[in-house]
């Protein structure tokens, strides 16, 4: 019971975090400029995965009990390169769609900016501070409210 409730809580927190991330990205014009269509597709697929996982958690109770007898043998057959679909053919449609979504998510992940998650953060410890230079027009010195006015204040 503790595992089931913990997984549901983690799923709800993941949904909240993903929706918050997408809300922030959609509201910022600067972030929207660097968001590719593939990134948007991946966000939609993430929402599908989270939604189907929550549906499984709420609709297909005690998933931790049947997972070990159905999904583990199937995943093992994939790992040893001898796929066997028999263990999952009897699973509900939402479970099979959730598994398919996971494979599609893994396949598309390397084509998005989120692949940077896989980079170990250790090299950043020795990296020089990054200087960001924005290509925007600076106010002229003669214009009211420009740098000259700021120095006088």
Can you give the CATH number for the domain in which 76 is found? 1.20.950.20
In a domain? residue 54: yes
Q: How many structural domains compose the chain?
A: 1
Q: What is the pLDDT of residues 125-147, one digit of tens each?
A: 677 777 777 777 766 665 555 55
In a domain? residue 39: yes
150, pLDDT greater than 70 = no
Rounded Cα gap, residues 95 and 79, in angstroms: 19
In a domain? residue 19: yes
pLDDT band at 80 (very low <50, low <70, confident <90, very high): very high
Q: What is the pLDDT of residue 141?
A: 62
Rounded Cα gap, residues 92 and 62, in angstroms: 13
In a domain? residue 138: no
**3-class SS at 66?**
helix
Rounded Cα gap, residues 100 and 103, in angstroms: 5
Instruction: Quote the domain boundaries for residue 46.
Output: 2-120
Q: What is the pLDDT of residue 17?
A: 93
122, pLDDT greater than 70 = no
In a domain? residue 126: no
């Amino acid at each position: 019971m503790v595992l089931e409730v913990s997984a549901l809580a983690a799923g709800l927190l993941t949904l909240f975090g993903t929706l918050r991330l997408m809300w922030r990205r959609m509201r910022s014009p600067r972030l929207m400029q660097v968001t590719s269509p593939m990134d948007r597709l991946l966000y939609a697929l993430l929402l599908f995965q989270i939604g189907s996982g929550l549906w499984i958690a709420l609709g297909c109770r005690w998933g931790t009990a049947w997972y070990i007898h159905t999904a583990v043998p199937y995943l093992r057959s994939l790992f040893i390169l001898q796929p066997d679909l028999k263990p999952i053919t009897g699973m509900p449609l939402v479970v099979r769609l959730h598994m398919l979504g996971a494979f599609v998510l893994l396949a598309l992940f390397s084509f998005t900016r989120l692949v940077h998650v896989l980079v170990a953060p250790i090299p950043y410890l020795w990296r020089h501070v990054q200087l960001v230079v924005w290509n925007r027009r600076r106010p002229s010195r003669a214009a009211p409210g420009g740098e000259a006015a700021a120095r006088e204040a």
